[in-house]
Structure 1
Amino acid sequence: MFKWLAWKKSTEESKPHSLTIDGLKEQIKSQLIVGSDLAFRNIKRDGQKLVLCYMNSLIDKNALDEFIIAPIQKNTHTEWTSEALVQILSIADLSAQNQLDDVVEGINVGKVYIYVEGQPYGILGNVSKTVERGIEKAETESLVYGPKIAFTESLSGNINILRQNIKDKNLCMEDFTVGTRTKAEVKLIYIKDIADEKNVNKFREKISQIEIDHVAGSTVLGQLIENNSWTVFPQLVTTELPDRVSIALMRGKVVVLMDRSPDALYGPTPFFTFFESTEDVYMRWNMGLALRFLRLQAAFLSVLLTPAYVAVLTYHYEVIPSPLLVSLGQSRANVPFPPVFEALLLEFFIELLREAGARLPTKVGQTMGIVGGIVIGQAAVDAGFTSNILIIIIALSALGSFTTPSYLMGTAIRMVRFPIILLAGFWGGIGIMIAFCFFIIHLIKLDTMGGSYLSPVYPLRWRDLGYSFFRVPTQYLSKRPLTNHPIDVQRFSPQKAKKKDVDE
């Protein structure tokens, strides 16, 4: 049933032999420098000696007593051997082990090592206890329509939620481990007859090539497997919504879940994917289309409104209508700074308020953001630091960036605004066009796990526009997006989806 390996360190030659209990303790203590947290429980019977090795803080003591110690003590008729222990212990997760490195690793994740003196191997039993929070409402991605539950830090719990959402026999999950010192379990998830094998292989290759001592979470894992780590634009979607992950899987994308991380990654994810919300699916198509356009327009205005203000007031007064020019002149009459410095100063204030509001407790943060924005804005105008019109423009730009469903993309939009403002202050409208062309070229050069970042606009795929740029009625989305290169392209038969006359 088990393949017995030699009791050895991984760097030494395999030499099968048994150990005394004292020798076992010394070897484990030499590898685990944990002080009083490491515990040993000795049990004797008829001249035989047995020891349990475990971490006090990582095990469920009730499970240890009920499923390991009690069966061993009650069994008085069978001689203690490793094979006999496997038969009497009522634990599903049991494995035979006699390699020191693997035993230490097992103890370090909450397993108990059971060893009978004189035996060539021992048994690792999983009685780990994990601290988990219950399923809660999504915090970073709030919704009006659709399921409200979010992923938690429990990998098994997240997989349970995902399997309840997708009851497909072809849902595949592959196991990986990342981290050389602190090992973390990673799941690669996809639907076998939908996801493109090339995309799956890219994720496999990227994850298996990670050589780092510790991966703090799934967002850090995403940074390690992205192709371009210098750009501000995210190349994989990070989400805490199980239904968003389910929709992505059904479209042929590949998902990554990591233990002790409440976020999922999936890809390939082009630029326009970051402006999609699951509410677009749950709403009627025309409402979803209007909201999606609103987000895209808001992001565009968020990037260009403030630079346009700086460029116009610095170099292009002639484009301003005369009535507005008078009010602009009156508003800026007491401002001693050039428009570019004025805009950068207010943008800095807005970012400062946003960051302070995010770090404070929820109720305090909301109050601080509202009151701080009003007080600082009014005080800045009264003191002559800025004009009323720029306050309005900066507020609109901030609101535009907040409409983006993806927090990472919203942050990227706010970051690219600063260099565009500087170029607008140096060269006016020409500086804005230079920055705009630079970012377009940069987005064209980017890729997401081998796919085009601006797909389906570049290269143009008309059929895929209904999944990203537009939102069309579901009955016209009979085929999955070609951007993901799905194996099973057809979602449903268009002929069967056509509505028939009631009289037929």
Structure 2
Amino acid sequence: MKKNLKKKLAGIKDKQPNQQNQENQEDLPIYPNKNDFIKSVKDKTHSPADLIIRYVSPTITIVYIDNLVDVQSLNELVLNGLKDKESITPSEIHSILPIPEINLSIKLNKSINEMLIGAALIHIVGQPEVVIAKISSYQSRGLAAPENESQVIGAQIAFNENINTNLSLIRRYITNPNLCNEKFTLGRHTQTTVSMLYIHGIAAETHVNTVRQRISDLNIADLIDSAVLAELIEDNSFSIFPQMLLTERPDRFSDGLLSGKVGIVVNGSSMAILCPYTFFEFFQSKEDQNLRWPIATFVRLLRFVAVFLSIFLTPIYVASLTFHYEVIPQPLLVPLSESRAKVPFPPIIEALFLELIIELLREAGLRLPTKVGQTIGIVGGIVLGTAAVQAGITSNILIIIIALCALASFTTPNYTMGNVIRVLRFPTIVLAGFWGYYGIMLAFCILLIHLLKQSSLGAPYTAPYYPPRFKDWPDSIIRLPLLLIKRKSVNTRGGNSEHPINEQNGGKKV
């Protein structure tokens, strides 16, 4: 027993220096000696080919990553400011250089992390700290019109992949000192900058605290896109329905913040996140506010009718021809029989086959170049549809129904929710093919129960209809005049009852 204890203690003693060495390697100081500092930077970054080391003077050395810093600012502000400066301290450099953001650091890891996002490290011989001059320069595409959320009336500008550009666009829409911006760094390998935005006094504190806590608790290796972050922090990642909105429009994002929602912007992603979001809000477009209220109401009702047709029209056709011939009108029964006389497959196989062809054409059109994709979608649909009817694989009426369902699915203004609508058709068709109308009702009940159980940041997903909140009905499925619409919904109402004033509603509190 004593020998075993001695071996264990010896093993622990052997491990402790290694652990201490690892900790020291993770938290190295800044070496006062120039050669030691350069060697430590090279060892930590594995001597990359784009690591630039410039000797300004015998005592001053600048280290940075090529193409991550603004060369013009480096030459005009940093090099000119440090010219002929041999005897100087980091504090003096801090006051000499005309750069907006300059910090001092005594830790090597922190300094290198700043260098990897576009800072230049200024080292002075004999000093145990380094100057971090942030003169980053990121290459990004220019501002362009939205591609996935296009509209006729309204702003024609979209986010790009630069978080600073996106934040400036939001600031142009909301010139309010209460607009809060909290920054986080996610991903051990990517060190991605994430900004959480909300308007103090309008956004609910519970929602702000929930988002802040979920982001802070994340321990991930990498983060590239905002869609990944939305899936990581939403209430139910196993649900097919999105609980947070991904938008590329700064006007829609700003409108959501003004409505009391919490926004998230991820560096490197052209899509921003808004939450909490309800099921019915996914079928609303920013353009609805710019249209006259009768037209906007008609368009919204048309979208919901299109969603119902997209999910249930093909299953109703399959169930009617498989089990319920009695529901088909007599004038339509004869053309249906003649159309299906040469078809060797049951309706369920026929419907699934055509739905699969539609999805293949859609996916091929998305992956090909724009002009080629449009041609493939149109020509492919016509050629395959005509050939399928002539070969007796399918009927003319089913092709019309499938085409109508495909068109209806594209009326959903949100791309993520549109994908959900298209996917839901397949299990509904299968249930209709096995159990007829009973299968359709089973699919509808499962879908309804699932929606009623969902939430977004703890807020009901099916609000304002369940639970019923009549004050939010004027801007849900229908859109009444703006004078009757409250700016903030019950789901996003903040705790300060004096701050949120609806200026469009005569200055009444909401």
Q: TM-score, normalised by structure 1?
A: 0.93
| Residue of structure 2 equivalent to 1:64 | 74
| Residue of structure 2 equivalent to 1:491 | 502
Q: CA deviation digits over 1:136-181, x for unaligned, max 9?
A: 0000111011101111111111111111111222111111111111
User: Could you tell me which of 28, 33, 37 is aligned with 1:20?
Assistant: 33
Distance 2:22 2:114 in 1: 14
| Residue of structure 1 equivalent to 2:9 | none
| Residue of structure 2 equivalent to 1:113 | 121
Correspondence list, 1:191-206, <5 A: 191-206=199-214
| Residue of structure 1 equivalent to 2:11 | none
Q: CA deviation digits over 1:238-289, x for unaligned, max 9?
A: 1111111122111111111111111111011010000000111000111000
| Residue of structure 2 equivalent to 1:5 | none
User: Could you tell me which of 350, 353, 369 is aligned with 1:345?
Assistant: 353
Distance 1:349 1:242 in 2: 36
Helix, strand or coil at the partner of 1:24: helix
Helix, strand or coil at the partner of 1:63: helix
User: Could you tell me which of 135, 151, 173 is aligned with 2:159?
Assistant: 151
Helix, strand or coil at the partner of 2:197: strand
Q: How has the CA–CA distance of structure 1 residues 235 and 64 changed in structure 2, closer, same or farther, with 3 Å as cutoff?
A: same
AA matched with 1:31: K
Deviation at 1:9, TM superposition (A): 9.3
User: Could you tell me which of 32, 35, 52 is aligned with 2:62?
Assistant: 52
| Residue of structure 2 equivalent to 1:11 | 23
User: Could you tell me which of 231, 238, 247 is aligned with 2:255?
Assistant: 247
Distance 2:286 2:328 in 1: 40
Deviation at 1:486, TM superposition (A): 3.1
| Residue of structure 2 equivalent to 1:500 | none
Distance 1:453 1:192 in 2: 24
Q: Where does the alignment leave 5 or more consecutive residues of structure 1 unmatched?
A: 1-7, 498-504
Are 1:440 and 2:448 matched, yes or no? yes
AA matched with 2:235: N
| Residue of structure 1 equivalent to 2:320 | 312
Q: How has the CA–CA distance of structure 1 residues 87 and 234 changed in structure 2, closer, same or farther, with 3 Å as cutoff?
A: same
AA matched with 2:491: T
AA matched with 1:12: N
State the 4+ residue runs in structure 1 displaced beyond 2 angstroms: 8-19, 485-490, 492-497
Q: How has the CA–CA distance of structure 1 residues 388 and 354 changed in structure 2, closer, same or farther, with 3 Å as cutoff?
A: same
Correspondence list, 1:185-224, <5 A: 185-224=193-232
Helix, strand or coil at the partner of 2:503: coil
Distance 2:504 2:235 in 1: 37
Distance 1:496 1:67 in 2: 50
Give the conservation status (yes or no) of the 8 Å contact 2:56–2:79.
Answer: no
| Residue of structure 2 equivalent to 1:378 | 386
Farther off after superposition, 92-101 or 342-351:
92-101
Give the conservation status (yes or no) of the 8 Å contact 1:137–1:148.
Answer: yes
AA matched with 1:70: N
Q: How has the CA–CA distance of structure 1 residues 10 and 81 changed in structure 2, closer, same or farther, with 3 Å as cutoff?
A: farther
Correspondence list, 1:22-421, <5 A: 22-44=35-57, 48-75=58-85, 79-421=87-429
Distance 1:360 1:493 in 2: 46
Helix, strand or coil at the partner of 2:142: coil
Deviation at 1:57, TM superposition (A): 2.7
Deviation at 1:478, TM superposition (A): 4.1
Helix, strand or coil at the partner of 1:373: helix
Give the RMSD, CA atoms, in angstroms: 1.8
Identical counterparts, % of pairs = 43
Q: How has the CA–CA distance of structure 1 residues 305 and 86 changed in structure 2, closer, same or farther, with 3 Å as cutoff?
A: same
| Residue of structure 2 equivalent to 1:481 | 489
Deviation at 1:108, TM superposition (A): 1.1
The total of aligned residue pairs comes to 485
Give the conservation status (yes or no) of the 8 Å contact 2:261–2:275.
Answer: yes
Q: How has the CA–CA distance of structure 1 residues 10 and 174 changed in structure 2, closer, same or farther, with 3 Å as cutoff?
A: farther
Helix, strand or coil at the partner of 2:462: coil
AA matched with 2:73: A
Give the conservation status (yes or no) of the 8 Å contact 1:9–1:100.
Answer: no
Q: How has the CA–CA distance of structure 1 residues 445 and 496 changed in structure 2, closer, same or farther, with 3 Å as cutoff?
A: closer
Farther off after superposition, 10-19 or 150-159:
10-19
Q: TM-score, normalised by structure 2?
A: 0.92
Deviation at 1:326, TM superposition (A): 0.5
Q: How has the CA–CA distance of structure 1 residues 88 and 139 changed in structure 2, closer, same or farther, with 3 Å as cutoff?
A: same
Helix, strand or coil at the partner of 1:175: strand
Give the conservation status (yes or no) of the 8 Å contact 2:30–2:37.
Answer: no
Deviation at 1:485, TM superposition (A): 2.6
Distance 1:482 1:453 in 2: 12
Distance 1:17 1:24 in 2: 7
Q: How has the CA–CA distance of structure 1 residues 332 and 201 changed in structure 2, closer, same or farther, with 3 Å as cutoff?
A: same
Helix, strand or coil at the partner of 2:502: coil
Q: How has the CA–CA distance of structure 1 residues 113 and 496 changed in structure 2, closer, same or farther, with 3 Å as cutoff?
A: closer
Q: How has the CA–CA distance of structure 1 residues 482 and 439 changed in structure 2, closer, same or farther, with 3 Å as cutoff?
A: same
Distance 2:209 2:257 in 1: 16
Give the conservation status (yes or no) of the 8 Å contact 2:30–2:108.
Answer: no
Distance 2:346 2:28 in 1: 78
Distance 2:328 2:47 in 1: 71
Deviation at 1:74, TM superposition (A): 4.4
AA matched with 2:35: D
Q: How has the CA–CA distance of structure 1 residues 10 and 467 changed in structure 2, closer, same or farther, with 3 Å as cutoff?
A: farther
Give the conservation status (yes or no) of the 8 Å contact 2:30–2:107.
Answer: no
Distance 1:221 1:239 in 2: 14
